[in-house]
Chains A and B, each alone.
Chain A
Amino acid sequence: GGIITQTPKFLIGQEGQKLTLKCQQNFNHDTMYWYRQDSGKGLRLIYYSITENDLQKGDLSEGYDASREKKSSFSLTVTSAQKNEMAVFLCASSIGGNSDYTFGSGTRLLVI
């Protein structure tokens, strides 16, 4: 079986800092996603990538950059962390088409 690994599990940053979150999958899935999870707001799509070197903006892309240099990895950068920001960032992957998503366990971000 495969796995999606997100690093780090916990991230504490300072206001204005650039922060990078990493995601690796060994399913050989084509498509990868970054979601932000806030209490009461569900899952909101930040970026997704259909294949290596492809990037597509989601509904919440402002304030974020992403990079897909290899098929197996997808990184997300918070370009300028906002004070008191607290959220969980979830990475997911899928084969594509009508297949379901497989999620990582998340990176929990706190900005002080």
Chain B
Amino acid sequence: DAGVIQSPRHEVTEMGQEVTLRCKPISGHNSLFWYRQTMMRGLELLIYFNNNVPIDDSGMPEDRFSAKMPNASFSTLKIQPSEPRDSAVYFCASSYSSLGYNEQFFGPGTRLTVL
């Protein structure tokens, strides 16, 4: 299995531009998570989906952020307009939901720099 795939791996953009981050979860997994990692705040959950439905988006910082999961094999995280304080590494993770907790598998992350 290829694991969780994220693209792009690096993104450099200018303030005000739209940024779209992409994630392909592991096949068969039905939960997907978006995290943001910064030096100041560490690793934070932004939003997670179960069976393509957003369950908890309380971590999404503001309306500039939006996430979609149109099908079980693809999700996007969009920032519009982007700001320098959005610079961070964004991780996508997936897991298979069952009666017990299951391991979250993380992608390699997208390093976003907003100038």
Q: Do A and B bind each other?
A: no
Which B residues have a C-beta under 8 Å from some C-beta of A?
none
Which A residues have a C-beta under 8 Å from some C-beta of B?
none
